[in-house]
A and B are shown apart, each in its own frame.
Chain A
Amino acid sequence: MTSLPITVEAVAIPLFLSLKVAGIATLIAALTGISIAWLAAKREFFGKEVLDAILTLPVVLPPTVLGYYLLVLLGRRGPIGSWLETYFGINLIFTWQGAVIAASIVAFPLVYKSARTAFEGVSKQYEDASRVLGKNEVQVFFLVTFPLAIRGILAGSMLAFARALGEFGATLMVAGSLPGKTQTLSIAVYEAVQAGHDQIANFLVIITSIVCIVVLLTSNYFLKPKYREA
């Protein structure tokens, strides 16, 4: 048992890295999740429910399995990895960008599922009413469908952010645990415990819990209705 002093580097660096990774990952998950959710809720196409099942997989698959998939796909010899390497000279494995991809995929279903439910809850009648009132499909989306679904979408995005912040398994496999580079909060906790740095571990755990509670409180706030349906 060593009691390494709690330094700014030991706490602030993984905290800010985690917030950066989770923030960008939530943005990616929200943009893709909202678009695909809209398609699934409002349009008919072949294989929709199969696609839904595949997109929901990251919630049920063990993160290590996901991480392995990503490693195979994004690694130097993987189909996506080798393509990125040849044409752009980009390598994602053991980088914070790799951690972003892992976190986005893990967080994606949380946005997608809640956005789809939220979009399906918007009555077609409101959309038809705005079409008759002269609005095109883009206007219908931004003036009616999206504002009426926003609470569900925001709540889903907050959960996605919390999930991305706590991401461990897939991130560890894809990005590793390079201090100051890819070592996020949750991985830093693991490393601290392994090394017997209990004080740092305690502190990191408390910080993580506070951040998650704030996120969940915000999410609850968004879930409260601002108006009633007539």
Chain B
Amino acid sequence: MGVEVDVQQTFRSGGHDFNLCMQFSCYEDITVLFGQSGAGKSLLLKIIAGLQEVHAGKIVINERVLFDSSKNIDVPSRYRNVGYLFQDYALFPHMNVGENIGFSKRSILSKVLKGKDEERVHELLDIFQIKDFSKKYPSEISGGQRQRVGLARALLQRPDILLLDEPFSALDPLLRIQMREELKKIQSIFKIPILLITHDPQDVAELGERLVLIKQGLVSGSVDLANAPYRDSYGKPVRPEIRKILLSAAGVSSA
């Protein structure tokens, strides 16, 4: 069980070529993608979700081939079964919280879900403690609540992987701490690989069990953060060590 990604693509914009060439694998834990803006992290998530075209390579999740250029396999987004949390959550503004969460199971004609699907929505409303405002619209709830709705919506269809594009960037610092804890809880409940993009070294230290460093469209390094020297004997992150790799990856010599 695990995720294997190996993709190449050249993007042309404004007369410049941008080469994206990324290879890495991850398992049922939290993998943090760290790199500067414009390094191609969001593109990579879009490619995995099938929202962005790619020339060559292979994407396999839990032994299921989603993309293989050598065999002409390119599974459309809707069959990839990935959970995707967009940077600003992309909650549907014309649907209330409950309808947003149940979206993947509804039909065109009716927004009413049947037995099992409806139970599942309630289960997720409970897990994320958002039952009280299931009838409210996205514009009527706070940033942290919106994020929970986005996560619940993505998890309803029991995805094989969860892709999070800078999930905490729109939240204030205290809320970030809380949402990091919630994400760990989710990980322990759903036990699926989580790929998370961040600019925040704090996220890397607190959440990352695996770190993939991305620079100008390439994977410049991959670090196992679950063990020494990045974790102490109590399993707590050793911040100075983690800081060191992040700084050297960014080309800054650590003091």
List, in ascending order, chain A residues with CB within 8 A of B91's CB: 230
For B106-141 the 0/1 string (1 means CB < 8 A from A) is 101000000000000000000000000000011100
Given contacts A133-B153, A148-B94, A229-B93, whether A125 and B86 have CB atoms under 8 Å apart is: yes
Partner of B94 from A132, A139, A227 at Cβ < 8 Å: A227
Residue of B nearest to A150 (CB): B94
A128 CA / B79 CA spacing, docked (Å): 13
For B67-105 the 0/1 string (1 means CB < 8 A from A) is 000000000111111111010111111100000000110
B146 contacts partner chain A, Cβ-Cβ < 8 Å:
yes
A16 CA / B50 CA spacing, docked (Å): 53
Given contacts A125-B86, A230-B139, whether A132 and B80 have CB atoms under 8 Å apart is: yes
List, in ascending order, chain A residues with CB within 8 A of B77's CB: 128, 131-132
For A127-149 the 0/1 string (1 means CB < 8 A from B) is 01111111110110011100110
List, in ascending order, chain A residues with CB within 8 A of B80's CB: 132
Q: Are B139 and A130 in touch, CB under 8 angstroms? A: no
List, in ascending order, chain A residues with CB within 8 A of B84's CB: 128-129, 132
Q: Are B78 and A126 in touch, CB under 8 angstroms? A: no
Total interface residues on B, CB under 8 Å, equals 32
Q: Are B103 and A133 in touch, CB under 8 angstroms? A: yes
List, in ascending order, chain A residues with CB within 8 A of B76's CB: 131
Number of A-B contacts (CB under 8 A): 77
List, in ascending order, chain A residues with CB within 8 A of B153's CB: 133
Q: Are B90 and A133 in touch, CB under 8 angstroms? A: no
Q: Are A229 and B139 in touch, CB under 8 angstroms? A: yes
Q: Are B78 and A148 in touch, CB under 8 angstroms? A: no
A26 → B minimal CB distance (Å):
24
A166 CA / B200 CA spacing, docked (Å): 61
Q: Are A228 and B92 in touch, CB under 8 angstroms? A: no
Residue of A nearest to B137 (CB): A227
Q: Are B78 and A143 in touch, CB under 8 angstroms? A: no
B20 contacts partner chain A, Cβ-Cβ < 8 Å:
no
Q: Which A196-223 residues have C-beta < 8 A from chain B?
A: none
Q: How large is the interface on A (under 10, 10 to 19, 20 to 34, 35 or more residues)?
A: 20 to 34
A130 CA / B104 CA spacing, docked (Å): 8
B74 → A minimal CB distance (Å):
14
Residue of B nearest to A130 (CB): B103
B158 → A minimal CB distance (Å):
11
A144 CA / B78 CA spacing, docked (Å): 15
Q: Are A147 and B94 in touch, CB under 8 angstroms? A: yes
B212 → A minimal CB distance (Å):
21
A126 CA / B93 CA spacing, docked (Å): 9
Given contacts A147-B94, A227-B94, whether A135 and B78 have CB atoms under 8 Å apart is: yes
Q: Are B90 and A136 in touch, CB under 8 angstroms? A: no
A137 → B minimal CB distance (Å):
9
List, in ascending order, chain B residues with CB within 8 A of A142's CB: 108
B121 → A minimal CB distance (Å):
13
Residue of B nearest to A129 (CB): B90
Given contacts A133-B103, A135-B78, whether A148 and B93 have CB atoms under 8 Å apart is: yes
Partner of B51 from A132, A139, A228 at Cβ < 8 Å: A132
A126 CA / B153 CA spacing, docked (Å): 13
Partner of B93 from A133, A139, A228 at Cβ < 8 Å: A228
Chain B residues with a Cβ under 8 A of chain A: 46, 49-51, 76-84, 86, 88-94, 103-104, 106, 108, 137-139, 146, 153-154, 157
Since A128-B77, A131-B51, A134-B79 are in contact, a sample of 10 more A-B pairs with Cβ atoms closer than 8 Å, ordered by chain A residue number, is A128-B86, A133-B78, A133-B103, A134-B78, A138-B108, A143-B106, A143-B108, A227-B93, A228-B137, A230-B88
Sample (26) of A-B pairs whose CB atoms are under 8 Å apart: A126-B90, A128-B49, A128-B51, A128-B90, A130-B103, A131-B51, A131-B76, A132-B50, A132-B51, A132-B77, A132-B78, A132-B83, A132-B154, A133-B103, A133-B154, A134-B79, A134-B81, A142-B108, A144-B92, A148-B92, A148-B93, A148-B94, A227-B93, A229-B93, A230-B91, A230-B137
Listed from nearest, the 10 A-B pairs whose CB atoms lie closest are A230-B138, A228-B139, A133-B104, A131-B77, A129-B90, A125-B90, A132-B84, A230-B139, A134-B78, A229-B93
